A and B are shown apart, each in its own frame.
Chain A
């Protein structure tokens, strides 16, 4: 079993839709959870960061962590064509550990 599982998609939605992206993981030591957004031919950029369980909201983006289920989500409200990108989840157990990335989900938002 991979440490981090992420559905690669592709996922195609109409503009304005609510998008849900998810990752599952197996290592209960993970405490720090991140979502990166990667546009075509660009490097990943940090989008959201969450420590332990709970929700975090930033504009149209909400990150959720459920440590009991080992499941994290990213919700995008009122999706825009500019949200079209690959979204990678990443996680680590702490400051001495390296990030473990999901394979990424490719999202396309159609006008």
Chain B
């Protein structure tokens, strides 16, 4: 079984809809991250969490919110989706005792029409 899972893997939605992307991990890591990947722009950090009570904005947090329901679960929400949020979204985890090598989930391909 995969250590970092993301649901859904693909999603097509319409402008204005609320969307939630979910991430679960079985690695026992305390740190979790949400990135988006766009062609030509690479990976950009949206939000990150160092533990259940810690939430931090990343480089591009506008239009997004997150929830850390448990150490193993980190959800990303788009309150009112817009077309320029069409992208690949990745969840990643690491442990504070590591050298910051992050482990990525398989990604969610989101299309906003």
- A residues contacting B by CB (< 8 A) are 6, 8, 32, 34, 36, 41-46, 49, 51, 88, 90, 92, 94-95, 97-99, 101-104
Contacts and interface: CB of A to CB of B under 8 A. Distances in A.
Nearest to A45: B104
Contact of A103 (B42, B96, B101, B105): B42
A6 B42 CA distance: 10
Contacts of A88: 42-43
Contacts of A8: 40
Contacts, number: 51
Given A43-B106, A98-B58, A32 B100 contact: yes
Interface in B87-112: 90, 92, 96, 98-107, 109
> How big is the B interface, by class?
20 to 34
B48 interface: yes
Interface of B: 4, 33, 40-43, 45, 48, 58, 90, 92, 96, 98-107, 109
Contacts of B99: 32, 49, 51, 95
A37 to B, nearest CB: 11
A97 B100 contact: yes
B100 A103 contact: no
B107 A43 contact: yes
Nearest to B59: A98
A20 B99 CA distance: 25
Contacts of B33: 98
B44 to A, nearest CB: 8
A111 B78 CA distance: 43
